[in-house]
Amino acid sequence: MSNPSYIYKLVPSSSPVPDELPERLPLSELDATSGFIHLSTAKQIPGTLKHFFADHDQVYVLRIEYAKVEKEIRWESPDAKVCGERGGEGFFPHLYNGGRLGSGEIESVAVWNRTSGNWDEALEKAESWLLY
């Protein structure tokens, strides 16, 4: 497996990402409990949206240059107890750096809106921004 250029963190609109990124964003409950920051590759984002953001109308998508965090990433299998099997999606990037994710790690932020009950249109509009 070759390393991706970028990896992504999805954040619900209930935890807004400020225009000016701080040095460290607050951790989600899942990340704090897990002891690492859950991330996705571009290929994994549709499944992450489906399993974790189906009831949200808006998400922030944080794009992180992989080379900046590579030394702190572990590629791990998703826990099927949380969202069931995620066949074909492979291992997920998990960031083990003491919960630090902010201005030093995040390259850019996009805001996606769910329409017609799904994320298809948002994914289509983001195609040129969502880099592999």
Mapped onto helix, strand or coil, the DSSP state of residue 45 is helix
Q: Is the pTM for the entire model greater than 0.85?
A: yes
In the chain, % helix, strand, coil (3-state, to 5) comes to 25, 25, 50
Question: Distance between CA 10 and CA 112 in Å, rounded?
Answer: 10
Domains of the chain: 6-125 (3.20.170.20)
Q: What are phi and psi of 123, to 5 degrees?
A: -65, -40
pLDDT bin (cut points 50, 70, 90) of residue 88 is low
pLDDT digits (tens, 9 = 90+) for 54-71: 999 999 999 999 999 999
What is the per-residue pLDDT across 5-57, written as a single tens digit (0 to 9) for each? 999 999 999 999 999 999 999 999 999 999 999 999 999 999 999 989 999 99
